Amino acid sequence: MNGHGIAAIYRFEMARWKRTLWQSLITPVITTALYFVVFGSALGSRMSTMDGVSFAAFIVPGLTLLSVFMQSIFNASFGIYFPKFTGTIYELLSAPISSFEAVLAYVGAAVTKSVILALVTIATATIFVPVHINHPIAMILFLVGISAGFCLFGFAIGVWAQNFEQLQIIPMLIITPLTFLGGAFYSVKALHDPFRTITLFNPIVHVISGFRWSFYSVADVPVWSSVLVTLAIIAGCMAVIAWMFRTGYRLKQ
């Protein structure tokens, strides 16, 4: 195990994050806080409760995850794409570090950033809306698991991408719509069939539902389903990344 190598990449990635703190932490927190202000404080009082939870509080887990999805993907994809773009990837490829160790370091740093972002976002939300966390340990476990899954997804995108446009396409065109249609602002139970059934094929519904359950003990799908989908995202992305490293896909000639 190359512990010094893992630590070096982790420190390097965290240093990069600190250099861009406005972009990677403060901006998404302010953006999400504006959602809380507009949809929660301003409009929330005019809306009915969702599953017995005030609308303002109901949207906090979903909006927090929307921010986590985006930053997880951007941070992890940029972390591996930028060395490919600048050519400094040669150093990683020639280092005595296994692909597992490299992924652990890059994704570990990206998960750290996402968890910090989520906690700061939730803390900010408490200023505007009443937030309760009924299952704090489950909330942390869901947060770490979801962050890990989407950071791994972002890492795979970073290896796959051949230009900056490709880096943006999947989070903007796929993840954002799936999140908006995945119960970030509403309970899936409120939908009529066939839309409700179709929506349940969206994995993000399960992820948001589990995370929201850890706050208010209300869920659109069983908690075990949320756990399974989260683990499936992690396992699926790990399998893709393992294949990428084994074959050298878009990493080696």
Partner 1 sequence: MSDPILSIRGLRKTYGTGVDALKSVDLDIRRGEIFALLGPNGAGKTTLINIVCGIVTPSSGEVLVDGRNWQSNYRYARERIGLVPQELTTEAFESVWNTVSFSRGLFGRPRNNAYIEDILKRLSLFDKCNSEMRFLSGGMKRRAMIAKALSHEPAILFLDEPTAGVDVELRRDMWDLVRKLRADGTTIILTTHYIEEAEEMADRVGVISKGELIAVDEKHDLMAKMGKKTLDIVLAEPLASVPPELSEWNVELGDNGHQLTYQFDSHAERTGIASLMRRLSDLGITYKDLSTHQSSLEEIFVELVHGGSK
Q: Which residues contact partner 1 (rule: CB under 8 A)?
A: 2, 4-5, 7-9, 11-12, 15-16, 19, 86-88, 90-97, 248, 252-253
Q: CB of 123: closest distance to partner 1 in angstroms?
A: 29
Q: Residues 76, 158: contact at Cβ < 8 Å?
A: yes
- Closer by beta carbon to partner 1, 160 or else 185: 160
Q: Residues 146, 237: contact at Cβ < 8 Å?
A: no
- Closer by beta carbon to partner 1, 7 or else 232: 7
- Closer by beta carbon to partner 1, 85 or else 180: 85
Q: Residues 179, 62: contact at Cβ < 8 Å?
A: yes
Q: CB pairs under 8 A, 24+ apart, for 32-39?
A: 32/63, 32/64, 32/66, 32/67, 32/121, 32/124, 32/125, 33/121, 33/124, 33/125, 33/127, 33/128, 35/59, 35/63, 36/60, 36/63, 36/124, 36/125, 36/128, 36/129, 37/128, 39/185
Q: CB of 55: closest distance to partner 1 in angstroms?
A: 43
The identity of residue 60, as a single letter, is V
Q: CB of 87: closest distance to partner 1 in angstroms?
A: 3
- Closer by beta carbon to partner 1, 102 or else 146: 102
Q: CB of 106: closest distance to partner 1 in angstroms?
A: 12
Q: CB of 28: closest distance to partner 1 in angstroms?
A: 21
How far is the C-alpha of 224 from the C-alpha of 138, rounded, in Å?
12
Q: CB of 25: closest distance to partner 1 in angstroms?
A: 17
Q: Provide the sign of the torsion angle of the four alpha carbons 25, 180, 144, 245, taken in this order.
A: negative
- Closer by beta carbon to partner 1, 10 or else 55: 10
- Closer by beta carbon to partner 1, 110 or else 181: 110
